[in-house]
């Protein structure tokens, strides 16, 4: 069995510079259309990681942004809600979408307690930036940039690569937990979804 991956976002190091969001849009959403770049309307909303003021559940100020994305849950409500098996968990623990099986029912969107999936229906004429890239008409979400794996072992998601402050840590679950020394917490832990995106809270408490 393959080792499962995990991401930790350190809110002590995150400056909110949005480099991760821009990198995600460039890697997974933006399309080259001739000499121009094509983006969906409200591109930041459709970015696979984006700032949300959802920190109250973590004991943070309502004005403190945290970055929300697919949590790649071990017990994923979206996978359970999908009637066709289009949403599935791969051997790395990445929650993915099989576009050929997806019927566009949006059950996965409704089931996600983190609001991590979006759907865009307007046409896009350029080609998707990669095989897991953003497609109109499908419930989109973070894939941990699994297309970068490319037959190798561990890979680096675009948002992690772009962070100049090393606020994002990505790796195998056991190693990430060891490196964070048990300081990372899960969103909505009481739900039992077992997310694999965790957060290290500001050491000074509320911000």
Q: Name the stretches of the chain with pLDDT < 70.
A: 1, 54-57, 204-207
Write down the pLDDT at residue 94.
98
Write down the pLDDT at residue 93.
97
In the block, tokens 């979206």 appear at 78
pLDDT digits 0-9 by tens, 17-48: 999 999 999 999 999 888 889 999 999 999 99
Contacts of 190 (CB under 8 A, 6+ apart): none
pTM of the model: 0.92
Domain residue ranges of the chain, discontinuous segments joined by +: 5-200
17 C-beta neighbours (distance < 10 Å), count: 13
- 134 phi and psi angles, rounded to 5 deg: -60, 130
Please state whether beta strands 197-200 and 5-10 pair in parallel, antiparallel, or not at all (unpaired).
parallel
Please check whether residue 196 is in contact with residue 6, taking contact to mean a CB–CB distance below 8 angstroms. yes
In the block, tokens 């675009």 appear at 158
- The CA distance from 156 to 141, in Å, is 17
CATH, domain range 5-200 = 3.30.70.20
Separation of CA 170 from chain center: 12
């Amino acid at each position: 069995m393959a080792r499962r991956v995990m991401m930790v976002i350190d809110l002590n190091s995150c400056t909110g510079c949005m480099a991760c969001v821009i990198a995600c849009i460039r890697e997974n959403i933006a399309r080259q259309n001739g000499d121009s770049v094509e983006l969906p309307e409200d591109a930041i909303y459709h970015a696979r990681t984006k700032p949300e003021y959802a920190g109250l559940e973590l004991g943070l100020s309502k004005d403190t942004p945290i970055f929300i994305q697919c949590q790649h849950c071990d017990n994923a409500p979206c996978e359970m809600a999908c009637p066709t098996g289009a949403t599935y968990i791969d051997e790395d623990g990445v929650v993915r979408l099989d576009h050929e099986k997806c019927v566009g029912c949006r059950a996965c969107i409704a089931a996600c307690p983190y609001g991590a999936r979006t759907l865009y229906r307007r046409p896009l004429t350029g080609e998707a930036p990669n095989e897991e890239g953003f497609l109109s008409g499908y419930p989109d979400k973070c894939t941990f940039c699994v297309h970068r794996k490319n037959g190798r072992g561990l890979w680096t998601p675009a948002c992690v690569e772009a962070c100049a402050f090393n606020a994002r840590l990505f790796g195998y679950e056991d190693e990430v937990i060891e490196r964070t020394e048990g300081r990372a917490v899960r969103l909505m832990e009481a739900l039992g979804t077992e997310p694999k995106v965790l957060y290290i809270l500001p050491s000074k408490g509320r911000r």
